[in-house]
Amino acid sequence: MDPKLRRQLGRIVSWVLTFLLMMIICVPGLWVVLTAFRPNAEVLAKPAVWVPQVLSLNNFAKIFGFAQEVAIPVPAYFANSMIIALTSTAIALLIGMSGGYAFARYRFRFKDGLFLGLMLSRTVPGIALSLPLFMIWSRLGLIDTKPGLIIVYVAMNVPFTIWLIDGFFRQIPIELSEAAMVDGCTRWQAFWRIEFPLARSGIASAGIFAFLTSWNEYALASQLTRSTYSKTLPVGLMDFTSQFTIDWAGMSAMAVIIIIPALALTFIVQKHLIAGLTFGGVKG
């Protein structure tokens, strides 16, 4: 075959494949988003209604309690999710910065072993961990409390946060903090004036990643929370399913609420996240 034609064909094939790929990634999500704006009747209609006849914010109004049915306290869940995710992220970042700095800047005994242990602690399946945590937390009175879930999420996020932040600190030449110390800084000052500002964007993306993990977590939250006092959005989503019926439209509206922060953050973080994962892993 003519090489020019073959190249042309190759380009068309790769565009078609890319289009298909993007369809598979986007269509399910977009369909859920569309459903969020449609009445349940239309969603359940047979034969299927492909082009929406009615688009409204009714589902959102309903779940936020502006309509007569206030079955599911979504605003409370939203607030719980925010408080729990933000607090646990902040604490995980502090602990992660301290630990990441230790791995990046010091040589010490058992370093590799400790690092491996850290990673292995993250591998324990949430559901397996939830059994003893449920028993211990109920004795400590931490069941159905925000602090109870916050502590758990801090522990869940610390290993990965340390991994990422370690990678970002390693990219900063050690001479910079040495120069700062010769210039009159204490080690503490050198950290806050030189290393922290330089790693800031990386630390921020580690924070966003931690936030998303907490925001999205279900297995542990479903066992450790009970009521509006501490239930998070993913747990609340299951309120829409009863034994035999599912409120598809309401659930979709709630799904949109859960997705939006995740999408926004993904967009902000993407560049640093890729850099962090690759540096942390390969150059380590």
Partner 1 sequence: MARYSPKRLFRNRMNLVPFLLLLPAFMVLALVVVFPLGFSLYTSFTPYRLIRPNTLHVWIGLRNYTDLMGNGDFWAAFGRTVLFLTIALNVEFLAGLGIALLISRITWGQRTLRTIMMFPMMFSPILVGYQFKFVFNDNIGILNNALQALHLSDGAIAWLVDRNLAMFSIIFAEVWMSTSVFAILLLAGLLSMPRDPVEAARVDGCNPWQVFRHITLPYIMPFAYIAMTIRSLDVARAYDIVHVMTGGGPAGRTELLWTLIARTGYNNAKMGMANAMAYISILLSIAFTYFFFRKLIAARKFMRGAD
Partner 2 sequence: MAEIVLNKLVKNYGRTRAVHGIDLSIAHQEFVVLVGPSGCGKSTTLRMIAGLEEISDGTVSIGGAVVNELPPRKRNISMVFQNYALYPHMNVRENLGFGLKIAGQPAADIAQRVDEAAEILGLTELLERTPAELSGGQRQRVAMGRAIVRKPAAFLFDEPLSNLDAKLRGQMRAEIKKLHQSVRTTVVYVTHDQIEAMTLADRIVVMRAGRIEQVGTPMEVYNHPTSAFVATFIGSPPMNMLPGTISGGAVRLADGSALPVPERAADNAREGQEVLLGIRPDDISPVGHGLSQDGPGAELTLTVAIAEPLGMESLIFTRIAGQEVQAKLYGPRMVLPGEELVFRLALDRAHLFDAASGASLEAR
Give residues in contact with partner 2 (CB under 8 A).
173, 175-176, 178-187, 189, 193-194, 197-198
**Does residue 212 interact with partner 1 by CB under 8 A?**
yes
**Does residue 1 interact with partner 1 by CB under 8 A?**
no
Question: If DSSP states are collapsed to H, E and C, what string results for the chain?
Answer: CCHHHHHHHHHHHHHHHHHHHHHHHHHHHHHHHHHHCCCHHHHHCCCCCCCCCCCCCHHHHHHCCCCCCCCCCHHHHHHHHHHHHHHHHHHHHHHHHHHHHHHHHCCCCCHHHHHHHHHHHHHCCHHHHHHHHHHHHHHHCCCCCHHHHHHHHHHHHHHHHHHHHHHHHHHCCHHHHHHHHHCCCCHHHHHHHHHHHHHHHHHHHHHHHHHHHHHHCCHHHHHHCCCCCCCCHHHHHHHHECCCCECHHHHHHHHHHHHHHHHHHHHHHHHHHHHHHHHHHHHC
| Residue 117 or 173 with smaller CB distance to partner 2 | 173
Q: Among 6, 28, 53, 56, which residue interacts with partner 1 (rule: CB under 8 A)?
A: 28
The region of 71-79, 151-159, 178-186, 192-200 touching partner 1 under the rule CB under 8 A is: 151-159
| Residue 20 or 176 with smaller CB distance to partner 1 | 20
CA 46 to chain centre: 37
Q: Minimal distance in Å, beta carbon 115 to partner 2?
A: 20
**Does residue 90 interact with partner 1 by CB under 8 A?**
no
Q: Minimal distance in Å, beta carbon 56 to partner 1?
A: 19
Q: Minimal distance in Å, beta carbon 68 to partner 1?
A: 25
Residue 182 interacting entry, from partner 2, partner 1, none, C-beta within 5 to 8 Å by type: partner 2
Residue 116 interacting entry, from partner 1, partner 2, none, C-beta within 5 to 8 Å by type: partner 1
Count of Cβ atoms closer than 10 Å to residue 212 Cβ: 18
Q: Minimal distance in Å, beta carbon 119 to partner 1?
A: 6
Q: Minimal distance in Å, beta carbon 131 to partner 1?
A: 5
**Does residue 165 interact with partner 1 by CB under 8 A?**
no
How many residues at the interface with partner 1, by CB under 8 A?
A: 89
Q: Among 9, 31, 67, 200, which residue interacts with partner 1 (rule: CB under 8 A)?
A: 31
